[in-house]
Amino acid sequence: MTLWEAGAGQPLDDPSLLRTDGLIGGRWTAGKVRHDISNPATGEPLAKVANLDEGDVEAAISAAASAFPRWRATSARQRSRLLMEWYHLIRRHEDDLARILTAEQGKPLGESLSEVRYGASYVEWFAEEARRLNGEIVPVEDTATRALVLRQPVGVCAAITPWNFPLAMVTRKVAPALAAGCPVVLKPSEQTPLTALALAELTVRAGIPDGVINVVPAARDRAAEIGAALCASPVIRHLSFTGSTDIGRLLMRQSATTVKRLSLELGGNAPFLVFDDADLDSAVEGAIASKFRNAGQTCVCANRFLVQDGIHDAFVSRLTERAASLRCGNGIERDVQIGPLIDERALRRMETVVTDALSHGAMLETGGQRIGQRHFAPTVLSKASHAMRCAQEEIFGPIAPVFRFRTEEDAILAANASEAGLAAYVFTRDMGRLIRVSEALECGMVGANTGRISNAELPFGGVKQSGLGREGSRHGLDDYVELKSITLGGLE
């Protein structure tokens, strides 16, 4: 039995998707040392992955720089075809990709499959958008002059991705870069590199040229060195990062020396507003979808449930009943709805959040502790208040604190009292209020009477300290494109 089979408990239909080396200039690169990737559901090792270093990053940057002239000169239609081929390969291997994802990240297999399809939809979308990188012809005063605006690739791009969506965060960055004509150097999370490397294997099979995608896996203790090398390189013209706000700030500071363009998707602290006139069933289902998907480890997760007086008690009791019924376990088992948390640090953070809330007067409705060694029970806390850590910080786990409010005005003030501004949710049957509140919320995305908000067709991103730029949608290429104006004179 291979290390993988022992650790994951399931074989792959296509074992050659399990890549454990980095990819630099089209060559699989073993590096000098390796590090263990383990299954968060069991703690068992799954693979020994290359732990690449700064020298390898420099090699990846050079490979990307060498690939750039040819890649940018490839016709938009050809780039589109190659991306579409990658999309079809991802879909063809979706079951294996979902298995890899669940094994290294922990989410239930059904959620992994949804992530594979969701992630693939960005590749499909940007394959289509690649053909619409239109410029402009702008009328100007002087009749002997014509003015053109070109949209050109920004150059070599870097991408640093997190562990909570090991597949979708990669495609959301790599697909628009490639569509625009930019090569990429990708550093996946140290906890979930296998999904990224399987995706890289599929780019090779799709015929995407050597050096256009380079993947540099590394252990956590090399992340700072690799991040610094990417930021310091004048060749890298754009850096896209999804992860914690602190690391985002650090990358922003480090990128100042080379005046790099940045796309940052950082932490959220999503308010979830439920008004008296909301449909209780749909509010509770929206809450479950938004809060407990991926065991609460998503940046658009509802973080604070703000519930109006009149519906408060009914909402708390229904949410508690539903949360308590969710089944925790190893994500490869059928019917498991909540997988393990990513690591021990995350479990300890949940315990601290609960202890802090209880010490400030919160009431524990359900959950509140670990189940076994690796799961945290779906938790509902009522009587939450602004002073608690769960109000101030991104929880990133399966804890739902419920706050009570009286008026619409109070709710908006409370919702906006955060330095983050990624997602927000509002549940009401009053259409006037729906629009009013949606417009007043300081965030990049609103789920209005729904807990599910993410689509390749829509811009994804935040305001305030949740980040810069938008991923997906027809605006998603903007970060990877420079505008160049050309003034054509003497045309009379």
- Decide: is 329 part of the binding site for ligand ADP (CB under 6 A): no
CB of 191 to ligand ADP, least distance (A): 7
Output 245-248 pairs: Cβ under 8 A, ≥24 positions apart: 245/420, 245/465, 245/466, 248/467
Of residues 292, 376, 352, the one with CA closest to residue 108: 292
CB of 176 to ligand ADP, least distance (A): 19
- Decide: is 189 part of the binding site for ligand ADP (CB under 6 A): yes
Quick check: 268 and 301 in contact, CB under 8 A? yes
Nearer to ligand ADP, 174 or 323 (CB): 174
Tell me which of 265, 365, 394, 471 is the catalytic residue: 265
| Vertex 351: Cα angle to 347 and 355 (nearest 5) | 170
CB of 169 to ligand ADP, least distance (A): 9
Out of 190, 365, 471, 479, point to the residue binding ligand ADP (CB under 6 A): 190
Q: How far apart are CA 136 and CA 147, in angstroms?
A: 8
Quick check: 403 and 319 in contact, CB under 8 A? no
Nearer to ligand ADP, 68 or 163 (CB): 163
Quick check: 301 and 422 in contact, CB under 8 A? no
CB of 318 to ligand ADP, least distance (A): 31
Burial (CB count <10 Å: 0-12, 13-18, 19+), residue 431: exposed
Residues 156-185 as x/- pattern, contact with ligand ADP by CB under 6 A: ----xxxx----------------------
CB of 162 to ligand ADP, least distance (A): 4
Tell me which of 157, 182, 231, 299 is the catalytic residue: 299
Quote the DSSP letter at residue 365: E
Give how many residues touch ligand ADP by CB under 6 A.
15
Q: In sequence order, what DSSP letters do the residues of 122-148 get, joined into one string?
A: HHHHHHHHGGG---EEE--S-TT-EEE
Q: How far apart are CA 236 and CA 120, in angstroms?
A: 25
- Decide: is 467 part of the binding site for ligand ADP (CB under 6 A): no
- Decide: is 286 part of the binding site for ligand ADP (CB under 6 A): no
- Tell me whether residue 265 is one of the annotated catalytic residues: yes
- Tell me whether residue 231 is one of the annotated catalytic residues: no
Report the 10 Å Cβ neighbour count for 490.
Answer: 6
Quick check: 101 and 115 in contact, CB under 8 A? yes
Nearer to ligand ADP, 244 or 438 (CB): 244
Residues 213-252 as x/- pattern, contact with ligand ADP by CB under 6 A: ----------xx--x---------------xx--x--xx-
- Decide: is 22 part of the binding site for ligand ADP (CB under 6 A): no
Active site residues: 265, 299
- Residue ranges in contact with ligand ADP by CB under 6 A: 160-163, 187, 189-190, 223-224, 227, 243-244, 247, 250-251
